[in-house]
Amino acid sequence: MSDFAKQLNRALQAMYDNASACKDGILSPVAIDRGLNLLAKLGYPENLLEKLPPDSLEIAFPCANPLSRITSLAPKTILDLGCGAALDAFFCAHSLPCLQRITGLDGSSKLLAKGVELLRHFPSEADKISLFQADLNHLGDSLFGQLKTSDLILMNGSFNLIYDKQKFFAELPSLLSKNGTLLIYDFLLTEELPPGFSDEIDNWLWNIGGALSEVELEKLITTAGFKVVEINEIERIDPVARCEIVMVHQIKNFTAPSSIR
């Protein structure tokens, strides 16, 4: 792992650990929507938001609301990579009658602890949810070897934080069921970033420094045996667009070339 990747990991963990402790939310000094306003604006159903303790709303950092897409896919099992304080996990467990299990992984132990606290209020949903601390940059680690495959892998705001996306895609298929879906909500580049922009850790923290263009993404995933099913632009804020990206792994018994393993 390069020094940059290690520093990025430390900075992300510190930022999200701090976010879990910040009473008014990490974004309170910034004039952008957060908490209930953000979630309502993204279209999370108000009847679900009303059920949640207000503190938990301040530690939600979704890029978009995945619930209609996930409902239409009707997965029985979900792996939420970068689940934060488990709000999407709760919403899925509450809203999908066919759901059997959802596993959430995140690098921030403090956000996960908030997730555990949240789920104490909802025992029937909590029965279907397991949360673990893990580093998504090392999907080859032993924890991941113990995970069962899932019908759907969700990444709501965590994909652009992965440092080595080529390695990530090479390791991902072992976690996905046959015909399973990878569902990403994150920014895609609509313009080139200024030279040197992605060399600054700070520029990665809010999901821009690690953003790819659609062409870069297609090239990367094709090498790893994935295929884009749909890319939907939700909002354009040049030089990026907030997008929903739906992918499947298309090659049976695919083994990534050794250069990307």
Contact in structure between 132 and 143 (CB atoms under 8 Å): yes
**Residue number with CB closer to ligand SAM (83 or 247):** 83
**b (16+ CB within 10 A) / e for 185-214:** bbbbbbeeeeeeeeeeeebbbebbbbbbbb
Q: Shortest distance, CB of residue 252 to ligand SAM, whole angstroms?
A: 29
Question: How large is the C-alpha radius of gyration of the chain?
Answer: 17
Contact in structure between 135 and 12 (CB atoms under 8 Å): no
Q: Shortest distance, CB of residue 134 to ligand SAM, whole angstroms?
A: 6
**Residue number with CB closer to ligand SAM (16 or 169):** 16
Interatomic CA distance for residues 59 and 115, integer angstroms: 10
Q: Shortest distance, CB of residue 36 to ligand SAM, whole angstroms?
A: 14
C-beta atoms surrounding 254 within 10 Å: 12
**Residue number with CB closer to ligand SAM (77 or 158):** 158
Q: Shortest distance, CB of residue 186 to ligand SAM, whole angstroms?
A: 9
**Residue number with CB closer to ligand SAM (126 or 208):** 208
**Residue number with CB closer to ligand SAM (135 or 218):** 135
At 73, the amino acid letter reads L
Q: Shortest distance, CB of residue 205 to ligand SAM, whole angstroms?
A: 9
Site for ligand SAM, rule CB under 6 A: 9, 12, 16, 60-62, 82-84, 87-88, 106-108, 111, 135-137, 156-158, 161
Residues in the chain: 261
